[in-house]
Structure 1
Amino acid sequence: MNLFFIFSAKYLFLLVILIAGVYFLRQPRDVQKKIVIFSLISLPVIYLLAILAGHIYYDPRPFVVGNFTPLIPHAADNGFPSDHALLVSAVAAIIVYFHRRVGAVLWVLALIVSLARVYVGVHHLVDIIGSLIISL
């Protein structure tokens, strides 16, 4: 079970990007243009909100507070918000706007990535919830 969560926490975000990329490439040129415009507007805003949130709220990583070794190595920096959760949820939010079914699959993967980051001990649930809220 640990291997599933370790893999999900470290690498599953790549599958989200791959699926979104394949979806993008299979779309007609006009839809691709809309996705690019939507992404160029939303992703910088999401990124800036995440930076701002990280400066406003500091949440030490669970392994720092709990004095244990996480299942994956990680720096003992601010855990809020989760970059992995932010990325996958932002990608899922963009794609769901254009295709509900593909977006729903990406949201399921985003939740797995996010919960895996909690399971392996590098994030608190508040870090994940914050990322999900920011990405919406």
Structure 2
Amino acid sequence: MPDLLFIFGAKYLIFASILLTGYYLFVSPIETRKKLMIFLLISLPFAYIVGIGAREMYVNPRPFAVENFEPLVAHAADNGFPSDHVLLAASLAAILFFFNRRYAAWLGGFAIFIAVSRVYVGVHHSLDVLASIGIAMLCAIITSKLYASR
């Protein structure tokens, strides 16, 4: 039973993060919606580009490739650094932190569970998911500072 829960977290919980962000966007006042869309359009690509740069600078083979075991979810045996799933989930949480702390708390909880799940199912090391959380937070903070200075 725990395996199924972590498989769900590793593969599918990211969609709940996306849906919750979309829901918040939909129910927000038009002015908040505009600001959030701009923030999303800046911060998400920024985090993704930083993630690509980190991936090019540091290679961390996936745990199942190094330790020779079968992961609970199928995955290519490529560089696992940083985790794209966690990067997206943590980015959404970090971005919403500047708009609605309650939604951000839910998204942060999802991001943490996704991170733990990705490690549990054997497709990431702890460093991969922690780096993703750090990149997401850093990019959201930088975006916030740049956006606030306009």
TM class, shorter-chain normalised?
over 0.9
Query: Where does structure 2 lack aligned partners over 5 or more consecutive residues?
Result: 138-150
Runs of 4+ with >4 A deviation: none
CA distance in 1, matches of 2:122, 2:94: 25
**Offset at 1:89?**
0.3
CA distance in 2, matches of 1:106, 1:47: 18
For 1:22-41, what per-residue CA distance to the aligned partner results, in whole angstroms no more than 9, with x for missing partners?
Answer: 01100011000000111111
CA distance in 1, matches of 2:6, 2:23: 25
Is 1:35 aligned to 2:22, yes or no?
Answer: no
Percent identity among equivalent residues?
50
Which residue of 1 is the match for residue 21 of structure 2?
20
CA distance in 1, matches of 2:89, 2:95: 10
CA distance in 2, matches of 1:24, 1:64: 39
TM-score scaled by structure 1?
0.98
Which residue of 1 is the match for residue 50 of structure 2?
49
Is 1:114 aligned to 2:115, yes or no?
Answer: yes
**Offset at 1:98?**
0.2
For 1:37-85, what per-residue CA distance to the aligned partner results, in whole angstroms no more than 9, with x for missing partners?
Answer: 1111111111110000000000000000100000000000000000000
Query: Where does structure 1 lack aligned partners over 5 or more consecutive residues?
Result: none
Q: Tell me the number of residue pairs that the alignment of Structure 1 and Structure 2 aligns.
A: 136
Q: Which amino acid aligns with 1:11?
A: Y
CA distance in 2, matches of 1:38, 1:116: 28
Two-structure CA RMSD over aligned residues (Å): 0.6
